């Protein structure tokens, strides 16, 4: 408190005392006991009021203790149960919960992980995949500002994702792996990996690459066999030794029939093998009759051309040829779809031939497009010519009806460079992406499709779409999201099927460890996405004839059902609407393969290296109790005592108002009672 304020308080006390004595002091009788009480009450009231006027401030110091966090990350994948470590995990977690010293020193947070990280509410060991790297990426965001040593309970066997022993370098916490499993080396043969294209073409041969691995000390011989049903289509004798412990087998198989062709690769097991599950692996190829051919016609080189080519050809069913306008003339009939990149007057013959053949097309309009020429050759739309460029961001139209579009985080994509001015359509069209300027939608199409005279056309009003593909990779560490988006657009443009009110999105086959999601869109009679309908799917196992019905859940701009619980088999399904009585059927296969059952041991080397790199320690589950002593005795993990200083003005002290009210009220009551009022 400042000296000046203290002087004001002393003066307030003197003034309050003077006023009290002035009113109640009697020169003849002095102060009686009653008047002394009146004087005290008056002094108290006046002094309190003067204090409110002065309003001094006081320092309040609060002391709090922050305990460090202890993160417990539990591997919830099925490999834990396969290695018979599930009971050890549950027992260790119970030991953490019952350890009073650990509970007293740390704030403990429990998580489980498989494909993704989740707050721990139950431990089931049912996850079909393990991504330890992604679990640490998410924990990094949660605990980046705190001291949070982490106990990792896992066998260290990761089935997908980045290598966690290196990707955890950004996680600034000490990691204490509890290693599940043993270090005993068993003799084992396994099919490490099968590399095969998803699609093949009828009457062709498709390549297959098999990577075979041996773990043992002796020289052994076996046979590698590939079967199609009960027919052996390929076989080869293989020998391994301690030093020559891996083989790469390359061969081709014929594609003789349209549809999904199922195969099973078998590396005949040894008599002493403990795990024979990893000796066989199923795979499939979707055999198609012909390849979709797409031409990209451009008068100049641009990064968009390469991005579109790579994106389209990510699907083996499609091939892309880049042509100059003069080269394209006379070849249009050879292609299922033509992409016209920033047309100018050199494209006149190309447009004439497209019109004559009534072919589908995809037009990209950018800053180098001759808008006057486009006004001349296009009857469906026109662009106001201003000569000024503008950057436009994308906004997904969730009501788009011709096919299912997933939101691939378009709002994070950089803007496309386009021409400033309004676009006017002369025929009905549907917008996939709207234009946004500075975060505000301007109700103008950035990407639109239209159907006229039996042909389809898409128009993109912007260039530099290559930046979108790059941003998609930065967002998801994969090009798949952007490539799937372009792929659906190409699939729509390359066919002339009638528009359907019920559209389905699914694969012809799924690997046993992958997520099986079937998506559907339903539209009303005006082809507006209908969120009021109820959709159900009936799935029939073609072998056992067992039927199951599931509801489809409305999610974002489509209906979805997760069928990942289905066992490997062949299935047919029918999606039906409840009110409109519209249905659509299909079929798919689930291949027999469980990646979590391919392991015999814990990956001790990686887990120990992870502990060393993070300044932690590793422990086998048999001596896991030792981790408690290390955590309790480590001086890095001590509670932090914090003090906070708050300046509180007296006017915020509500009791002072109560004192004023009580003293004035009591004084008035006593004076009234004694007949002095």
Rounded to whole angstroms, how far apart are CA atoms 438 and 436?
Answer: 7
Tally: H helices and E strands in the chain = 16, 36
- Regarding whether 232 and 83 lie in a shared domain, the answer is no
Determine the distance from the C-alpha atom of residue 313 to the mean position of all C-alpha atoms in its chain, rounded to a whole number. Answer: 25
Q: Are residue 489 and residue 359 in the same domain, yes or no?
A: yes
Instruction: Tell me the pLDDT band of 346, cut-offs 50, 70 and 90.
Output: very high
Say what the pTM is: 0.59
Query: Domain boundary residue among 288, 315, 334?
Result: 288
Predicted confidence band of residue 339 (pLDDT cuts 50, 70, 90): very high
> What number is the average pLDDT over the span 224-232?
92
The stretch 637-666 carries a mean pLDDT of 79
Specify whether 135 is located in the same domain as 234. Answer: no
> In 552-603, which residue ranges form alpha helices assigned H by DSSP?
none
Task: Provide the pLDDT for residue 204.
Answer: 84
pLDDT digits (tens, 9 = 90+) for 153-184: 999 999 888 888 876 778 889 999 999 987 77
Model pLDDT, residue 117: 92
Residues 433 and 582 in one domain: no
Asked whether the predicted pLDDT for residue 208 surpasses 80, the reply is yes
Q: What is the average per-residue pLDDT within 255-266?
A: 88
pLDDT bucket at 549, cuts 50 / 70 / 90:
very high
Residue 350 in this model has a pLDDT that exceeds 90: yes
Q: Which of 271, 288, 305 is the last residue of a domain?
A: 288
The phi, psi pair for 430, rounded to 5°, reads -130, 135
Residues 104 and 141 in one domain: yes
Count how many domains the chain has: 5
Q: Give the mean pLDDT of 288-292.
A: 80
Q: Which residue has the tokens 């080269």?
A: 327
Q: Indicate the DSSP class of residue 77.
A: B
Using an 8 Å Cβ cutoff, are 365 and 459 in contact? yes
Beta-bridged to residue 575, according to DSSP, are 537, 584
Predicted pLDDT of residue 561: 94
Whether residues 398 and 544 share a domain: the answer is no
Which of 250-264, 338-352, 378-392 holds the top average pLDDT?
338-352
Closest CA to 523 of 396, 404, 406, 434: 404
| Residue 568: both structure tokens together | 């490997």
The domain in which residue 555 lies consists of 502-595
If one compares 512 and 588, the residue with the highest pLDDT of the two is: 588
Instruction: Judge if 324 and 464 occupy the same domain.
Output: yes
Q: Please state, in angstroms and rounded to a whole number, the distance separating the CA atoms of residues 121 and 150.
A: 18
- Three-state secondary structure call for residue 46: helix
Question: Residue 115 sits in a domain of what CATH number?
Answer: 3.40.50.410
Write out pLDDT tens, residues 80-102.
Answer: 988 889 999 999 999 999 999 99
Question: Within a 10 A sphere around the Cβ of 672, how many other Cβ atoms?
Answer: 10
Same domain, 327 and 434: yes
Using CA atoms, how far apart are residues 320 and 328, in angstroms rounded to an integer? Answer: 13
Average pLDDT of span 666-674: 81
> Can you give the CATH number for the domain in which 348 is found?
3.40.50
Do 159 and 209 belong to one domain? no
pLDDT of res. 498: 64
Is the pLDDT score of 312 beyond 90? yes
Which carries the bigger pLDDT value, residue 175 or residue 64? 175
Does the pLDDT at position 27 exceed 50? no
Give yes or no for a contact between 151 and 180, defined as CB atoms under 8 angstroms apart.
no
Cα separation, 14 vs 9, whole angstroms? 9
Instruction: Write out the E strands in 309-415.
Output: 318-323, 337-341, 361-364, 381-383, 389-396
Lowest-pLDDT range of 56-65, 400-409, 477-486, 544-553: 56-65
Residues across the chain: 677
Q: What is the distance between the alpha carbons of residues 88 and 23, in angstroms, rounded to a whole number?
A: 85
pLDDT at 33 over 80: no
Angle formed by the axes of helices 3-24 and 33-54, to 10°? 150
CATH code for the domain in which residue 585 is found: 2.60.40.10
Instruction: Output the pLDDT for position 483.
Output: 93
Q: Are residues 487 and 469 part of one domain?
A: yes
Kindly state whether residues 412 and 519 are assigned to the same domain.
Answer: no
**Domain termination site, one of 562, 595, 628:** 595
Number of C-beta neighbours around residue 152 at 10 A: 28
* Residue 307 confidence (pLDDT): 94
With bands split at pLDDT 50, 70 and 90, how would you rate the model's confidence at 28? very low
* Domain co-membership, 323 together with 459: yes
User: Do 119 and 110 meet the contact criterion of CB atoms below 8 Å apart?
Assistant: yes
Task: Tell whether the model's pLDDT for residue 642 goes beyond 80.
Answer: no
d(CA 282, CA 265): 6
The overall average pLDDT reported for the chain is: 88
Q: What is the mean pLDDT of residues 581-593?
A: 88
């Amino acid at each position: 408190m400042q000296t000046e304020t203290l002087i004001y308080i002393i003066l307030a006390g003197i003034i309050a005392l003077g006023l009290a004595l002035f009113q109640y002091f009697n020169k003849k009788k002095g102060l009686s006991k009653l008047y002394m009480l009146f004087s005290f009450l008056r002094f108290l009231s006046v002094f309190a009021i003067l204090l409110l006027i002065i309003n001094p401030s006081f320092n309040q110091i609060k002391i709090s203790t922050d305990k460090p966090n202890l993160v417990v990350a539990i591997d919830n994948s099925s490999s834990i149960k396969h290695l018979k470590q599930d009971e050890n995990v549950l027992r260790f977690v119970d030991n953490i919960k019952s350890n009073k010293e650990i509970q007293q020193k740390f704030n403990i947070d429990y998580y489980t992980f498989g494909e993704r990280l989740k707050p721990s509410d139950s431990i089931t060991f049912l996850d079909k995949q393990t991504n330890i790297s992604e679990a640490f990426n998410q924990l990094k965001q949660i605990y980046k500002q705190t001291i949070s040593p982490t106990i990792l309970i896992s066998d260290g066997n990761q089935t997908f994702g980045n290598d966690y022993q290196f990707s955890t370098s950004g996680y600034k916490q000490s990691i204490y792996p509890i290693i599940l499993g043993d270090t005993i080396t068993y003799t084992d043969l396994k099919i490490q990996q099968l590399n095969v294209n998803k699609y093949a073409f009828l009457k062709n041969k498709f390549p297959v690459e098999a990577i075979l691995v041996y773990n043992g000390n002796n020289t052994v011989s076996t046979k590698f066999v590939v079967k199609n049903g009960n027919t052996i289509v390929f076989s080869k004798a293989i020998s391994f030794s301690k030093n020559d412990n891996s083989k790469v087998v390359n061969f081709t198989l014929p594609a003789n029939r349209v549809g999904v062709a199922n195969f099973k690769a078998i590396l005949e097991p040894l008599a002493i093998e403990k795990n024979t599950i990893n000796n066989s692996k199923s795979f499939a190829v979707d055999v198609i009759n012909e390849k979709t051919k797409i031409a990209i016609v451009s008068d100049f080189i641009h990064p968009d051309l390469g991005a579109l080519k790579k994106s389209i050809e990510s699907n083996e069913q499609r091939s892309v040829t880049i042509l100059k306008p003069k080269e394209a003339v006379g070849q249009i009939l050879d292609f299922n779809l033509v992409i016209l990149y920033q047309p100018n007057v050199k494209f006149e013959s190309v447009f004439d031939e497209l019109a004559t053949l009534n072919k589908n097309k995809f037009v990209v309009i950018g800053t180098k497009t001759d808008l006057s020429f486009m006004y001349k050759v296009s009857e469906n739309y026109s662009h106001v010519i201003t000569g000024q460029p503008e950057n436009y961001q994308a906004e997904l139209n969730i009501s788009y009806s011709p096919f299912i579009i997933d939101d691939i985080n378009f709002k994070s994509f950089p803007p496309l460079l386009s021409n400033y001015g309004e676009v006017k359509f002369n025929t009905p069209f549907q917008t996939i992406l709207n234009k946004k300027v500075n975060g505000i939608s301007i109700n103008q199409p950035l990407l639109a499709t239209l159907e006229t005279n039996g042909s389809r056309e898409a128009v993109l009003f912007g260039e530099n779409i290559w930046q979108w593909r790059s941003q998609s990779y930065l967002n998801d560490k994969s090009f798949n999201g952007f490539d799937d988006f372009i792929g659906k657009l190409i699939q729509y443009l390359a066919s002339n099927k009638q528009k359907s009110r019920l559209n389905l999105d699914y694969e012809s086959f799924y690997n046993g460890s992958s997520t099986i999601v079937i998506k559907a869109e339903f539209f009303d009679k005006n082809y507006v996405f209908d969120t009021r309908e109820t959709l159900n799917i009936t799935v029939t196992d073609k072998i056992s004839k067992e039927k199951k019905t599931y509801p489809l859940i409305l999610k974002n701009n489509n209906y979805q059902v997760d069928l990942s619980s289905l066992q490997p088999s062949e299935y047919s399904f029918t999606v039906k609407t409840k009110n409109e009585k519209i249905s659509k059927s299909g079929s798919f296969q689930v291949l027999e393969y469980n990646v979590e059952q391919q392991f015999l041991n814990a990956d001790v080397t990686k887990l120990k290296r992870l502990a060393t790199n993070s300044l932690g320690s590793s422990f086998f589950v048999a001596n896991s109790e030792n981790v408690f002593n290390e955590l309790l005795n480590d001086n890095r993990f001590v509670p932090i005592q914090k003090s906070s200083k708050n300046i509180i003005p007296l006017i915020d002290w509500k009791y002072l108002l109560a004192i004023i009210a009580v003293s004035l009220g009591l004084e008035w009551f006593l004076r009234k009672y004694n007949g002095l009022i």
